[in-house]
Amino acid sequence: MRTTINQIRAGQFSLIDLDNLLAELENMGRSQRLYFYLLLNF
């Protein structure tokens, strides 16, 4: 997940495995999704 966050921050969208990212987000609990959101925005 950390790699994906770094790729998003760097604008390297072509490197992101969207299917894997969506699967991970679907399996996360609410607090994990909040943590992911906060990492993206700070």
Helices and strands, counts by H and E, the chain: 3, 0
**Which pLDDT score, from 0 to 100, does residue 12 have?**
93
Structure tokens at 8: 């998003």
**Which pLDDT score, from 0 to 100, does residue 10 have?**
92
Compute the Cα dihedral for 20, 22, 26, 31 and give only its sign.
positive
Compute the Cα dihedral for 37, 23, 20, 12 and give only its sign.
negative
List pLDDT tens digits, range 1-42: 788 888 988 999 898 999 988 898 888 898 888 988 888 887
